[in-house]
Amino acid sequence: MDLLKRKIFKSPSLSKHIQLKFLNRLSRALKNGYPLLTALEAFKWDKELIKPVTQMITSLQNGYPIDKALEKASFHPVITSYLYFSRDGNLVDNIQKSAELFSRQIEYTTKLRQLSRYPIFLFIIFITLLFFIKQSVLPSFIELFQAHPQTTKTIQLSLVIIQFLSHLAIILVVIIILITVTWYLIQHKIPIGRKVKIYASIPIFHKFLTIRTSYLFATHFSTLLKTGLSLKEILKMMLKQNNMPILHYYATLMIHQLEKGIYITDLLQNLPLLDPQIGLIFQKHADMSALETDLSFYAEFKAEEFHERMMKLIVSIQPIFFIILACFIIFIYLALMWPMFELIKTI
């Protein structure tokens, strides 16, 4: 109950536009040699950034790391979780990468919103039309064809088809809403191990989640390797963060594996939401420098793959929806015209 209250009453995050603008400006300022606090002080010139920047400066002066400072300033978890790993790494590069990651997320949501707007509008019109046909058109047909008993069965079949389509549409909407609400309410109670199994069983979703998890693991691992941390120290850092629960869970499994004296290669190749290629990269390199290079290159490859797949999926939503809707319309058209054809045959 307390968790639910925190989710409902937590302070609203900044607009995505402001967050992205802040990250891009901070990245440029740090690249030009500005110290972090000096750059933040300069950002107070922008009225949109005064409040978050002031909050950040206060947090940093009180000893909080940058990810916690951003979190207190209501920045998105995608940004704060990414910058958690910059505590011991290259802050400038990580800010730039987090800006790119957040920018692409904004691109996906904006594109999805634009492409889904028209299909949703058509779906509402279709449901309204279906209801009108069921309540007004079909009863009129039945009255019209009462004098022709041979068409009665055809009209009744048409009524069954239209009722089936209308009930199917309503049931699908109700099921989607129930699943969404139920998952939102109970997800925090499900152990992460069980969640991973559920995610891995969802046909299309698990592919995208595997690419994303593999990218995050590879990019953060390669970033921390640059700082000279050992394998176990890196896993402990992943264990301390809570914004990426799958990485947290996998870090726990890997640490237990290392404590048993077993290298993590076999485990990496068998984790459900992690690309087995990562295990092969670890198996290939004993040298940490070569491992860091390969993981960094692999992370870039996965970022490109995720972007391409996501854009293809988003772009394909409209055609798939239109094909389904067209099939429904054809069924309704046939259901209405069939009795007319039957009547014509009797004339």
Please state the separation of Cα 120 from the chain's center in Å: 20
Q: At what angle do helices 91-132 and 205-226 cross, to 10 degrees?
A: 170
The Cβ-side half-sphere exposure at 325, using a 13 Å CA radius, reads 18
- The encoded tokens of residue 320 equal 């798939």
Give residue 151's pLDDT: 58
> In whole angstroms, what is the distance from residue 283 CA to residue 266 CA?
9
Give residue 142's pLDDT: 67
pLDDT tens string 275-333: 888 888 888 766 777 888 888 889 888 888 888 888 888 888 878 888 887 887 787 77
Identity of residue 211: I
Looking at every residue in the chain, the average pLDDT score rounds to 81
> In whole angstroms, what is the distance from residue 171 CA to residue 110 CA?
28
pLDDT band at 8 (very low <50, low <70, confident <90, very high): very low
> In whole angstroms, what is the distance from residue 253 CA to residue 269 CA?
13
pLDDT band at 6 (very low <50, low <70, confident <90, very high): very low
Give residue 171's pLDDT: 86
- The encoded tokens of residue 251 equal 């870090």
**What residue ranges in 197-340 does DSSP mark as E strands?**
none
Nearest residue to 202 (alpha-carbon basis) of 264, 272, 292, 290: 272
Question: Which carries the bigger pLDDT value, residue 185 or residue 130?
Answer: 185
Q: What are phi and psi of 114, to 5 degrees?
A: -65, -45
Residue 147 has pLDDT above 80, yes or no: no
pLDDT band at 5 (very low <50, low <70, confident <90, very high): very low
Contact 29/42 with Cβ under 8 angstroms? yes
Q: At what angle do helices 288-346 and 276-284 cross, to 10 degrees?
A: 160
Question: Which carries the bigger pLDDT value, residue 144 or residue 33?
Answer: 33
For 261, the enclosing helix (H) or strand (E) is none
Question: Which carries the bigger pLDDT value, residue 267 or residue 155?
Answer: 267
Domain positions in the chain are 13-78, 193-320
Place of tokens 């995608």: 78
Contact 201/272 with Cβ under 8 angstroms? no
> In whole angstroms, what is the distance from residue 36 CA to residue 26 CA?
8
90 to 63, 99, 224, 236, 297: CA distances (angstroms): 19, 14, 9, 19, 17
Question: Phi-psi category of 33—alpha, beta or left, where left has phi over 0 and alpha has psi -120 to 50?
Answer: left
Sign of the Cα pseudo-torsion (85, 78, 281, 238, in order): positive
* Percent over 70 (pLDDT), the chain: 86
Residues 6 or more apart from 305 whose CB is under 8 A from it? Answer: 211
Residue 182 has pLDDT above 80, yes or no: yes
Average pLDDT score over residue span 177-204:
87
- The encoded tokens of residue 253 equal 């499994």
Contact 82/97 with Cβ under 8 angstroms? yes
* Percent over 90 (pLDDT), the chain: 2
Q: What is the CA radius of gyration of the chain?
A: 28
1-15, 37-51, 327-341: least confident range = 1-15
pLDDT tens string 240-252: 887 888 888 998 9
Give residue 89's pLDDT: 60
pLDDT tens string 215-260: 989 888 888 888 778 888 888 888 888 788 888 899 898 888 888 8
Give residue 145's pLDDT: 63
- The encoded tokens of residue 162 equal 């239209």
Q: At what angle do helices 91-132 and 152-186 cross, to 10 degrees?
A: 150
